[in-house]
Amino acid sequence: GAVVSQHPSWVICKSGTSVKIECRSLDFQATTMFWYRQFPKQSLMLMATSNEGSKATYEQGVEKDKFLINHASLTLSTLTVTSAHPEDSSFYICSAPRTSGDQETQYFGPGTRLLVL
């Protein structure tokens, strides 16, 4: 079964509104989570690394004030797209690493499709 969930899976919103996307690790704790966005038929783009209890690390070119990331607990990271515009329409995916012994396995969420009208 899925070990990383995202909510919602689909969201449609009006331009100018804010949208929050949740990423949860279901049966393990994740001090780090990664947020990506993907345009149709294109590669993923890493947006930021979410760190529990501290500020997220954003990739170059990603607007921090536009894409707010909060990693308030060891099982939840949220991405808020503030004042969304049509160009923010995309597929957003999170991932979380799970460590067992000296092995780390990366689990991906199912993704959230955002459509801004």
Partner 1 sequence: AQSVTQLGSHVSVSEGALVLLRCNYSSSVPPYLFWYVQYPNQGLQLLLKYTTGATLVKGINGFEAEFKKSETSFHLTKPSAHMSDAAEYFCAVSDTLDMRFGAGTRLTVKP
Pairing of strands 112-116, 10-13: parallel
The span of 16-24, 40-48, 60-68, 76-84 binding partner 1 (CB under 8 A) equals: 40-48
Say what the alpha-carbon torsion angle 102, 106, 107, 110 is, to the nearest 10 degrees. Answer: 180
When asked if residue 34 is in the footprint of partner 1 (CB under 8 A), the reply is yes
When asked if residue 2 is in the footprint of partner 1 (CB under 8 A), the reply is no
Shortest CA distance to 47 belongs to which of 76, 16, 68?
68
27 is written with which tokens?
A: 């049966």
When asked if residue 67 is in the footprint of partner 1 (CB under 8 A), the reply is no
The span of 21-29, 30-38, 69-77, 79-87 binding partner 1 (CB under 8 A) equals: 30-38
When asked if residue 7 is in the footprint of partner 1 (CB under 8 A), the reply is no
